[in-house]
């Protein structure tokens, strides 16, 4: 058994969890959501084991680096961060129905890594620019930030799915209250904003060590800053202007689009110091 096998099985386990969550929403069966949560936790444990094993394999091959160095590894880790954050939210709030809006994101990220032929799952040596102790700190903090924004995005979608006055017994009646949706979205944005800020700072320190400058207006740096400003605006409008509901949900969605472009668009459409990712 190797890490590639474990992470392949993780993809299918997350797919199964998504099916149970969506089924619970479609058929109004709470038991399916509970099963979905159990399956999601199993997938998370499998995901964790795959990452650890891949790290060990890297050392066995003589490369010796954390599995965060390419698109495949980053997508695997992104799934892991979203999964662990969502598991915490469900355990805290006992609202399993919201898994309908988050589990697909967990599955799609690792499915993209597993099934896109352009993404290689081979363990490769680090390029010189990545050989730094800052790699782990920078990647972990950035992706925890991305995970917070991804979960906030899932919650924001609920604003546009839930009717204003859902009929008793309808599939929408099981969705959380507007107040809880709003609070969860805000909490996840605060979480994501904190870790993205730390990620940008660690990245700047690393850049100075690798390239002799803290900031070079590289496309990924620029879009990370744009993303940071979008969520800064979200927090300002929430805390200083008292905004809530769909208006803030739109900003959360726009922010996650910025996250996706920072993550994917910069790598595929723009060239720069981060193009190797």
DSSP 197-246: HHHHHHHHHHHHHHHS-S----HHHHHHHHHHHHHHHHHHHHHTS---TH
C-alpha dist (Å) from residue 223 to 78, 110, 202, 267: 18, 23, 16, 11
pLDDT of res. 185: 96
d(CA 71, CA 153): 22
CA 110 to chain centre: 11
Q: What angle do CA 276, 49, 148 make, to 5 degrees?
A: 60
pLDDT of res. 273: 55
C-alpha dist (Å) from residue 166 to 94, 146, 173, 175, 177: 21, 32, 6, 9, 11
Task: Enter the tokens of residue 274.
Answer: 């981060």
- Contact of 230 with 236, CB cutoff 8 Å: no
Helix (H) and strand (E) counts for the chain?
A: 9, 0
Nearest to residue 159, comparing CAs of 232, 245, 87? 245
This prediction's pTM: 0.93
In the predicted model, residues of the chain with pLDDT beneath 50 are: 276
d(CA 37, CA 18): 9
Residues present in the chain in total: 277
Nearest to residue 14, comparing CAs of 112, 115, 106? 106
Question: Max CA-CA distance within the chain?
Answer: 62
pLDDT of res. 272: 55
Residue 119 DSSP symbol: S
- H helix runs in 94-177, sequence order: 99-115, 134-161
d(CA 274, CA 261): 13
pLDDT of res. 275: 54
A 10 A CB-CB count for 221 gives 21
Task: Enter the tokens of residue 150.
Answer: 């991804």
Q: What is the pLDDT of residues 145-163, one digit of tens each?
A: 999 999 999 999 998 988 8
């Amino acid at each position: 058994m190797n890490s590639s096998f474990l992470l392949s099985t993780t993809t299918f386990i997350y797919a199964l969890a998504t099916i149970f969550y969506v089924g619970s929403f479609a058929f109004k069966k709470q038991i399916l959501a509970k099963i979905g949560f159990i399956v999601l936790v199993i997938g998370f444990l499998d995901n964790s084991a795959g990452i650890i094993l891949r790290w060990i394999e890297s050392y066995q091959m003589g490369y010796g680096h954390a599995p965060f160095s390419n698109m495949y590894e980053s997508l695997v880790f992104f799934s892991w961060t979203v999964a662990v954050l969502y598991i915490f939210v469900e355990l805290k709030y006992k609202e399993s129905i919201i898994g309908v809006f988050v589990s697909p994101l967990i599955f799609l990220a690792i499915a993209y890594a597993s099934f896109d032929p352009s993404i290689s799952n081979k363990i490769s040596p680090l390029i010189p620019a990545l050989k730094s102790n800052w790699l782990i700190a920078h990647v972990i903090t950035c992706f925890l930030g991305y995970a917070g924004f991804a979960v906030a995005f899932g919650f924001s979608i609920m604003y546009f799915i839930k009717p204003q006055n859902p009929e008793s017994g309808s599939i929408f009646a099981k969705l959380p209250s507007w107040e809880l949706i709003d609070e969860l979205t805000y909490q996840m944005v605060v979480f994501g904003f904190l870790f993205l800020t730390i990620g940008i700072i660690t990245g700047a320190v690393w850049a100075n060590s690798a390239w002799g400058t803290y900031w070079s207006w590289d496309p990924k740096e620029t879009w990370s800053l744009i993303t940071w400003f979008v969520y800064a605006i979200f927090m300002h409008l929430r805390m200083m202007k008292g905004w809530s509901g769909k208006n803030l949900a739109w900003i959360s969605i726009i922010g996650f689009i910025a996250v996706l472009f920072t993550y994917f668009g910069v790598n595929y459409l723009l060239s720069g110091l981060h193009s190797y990712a």
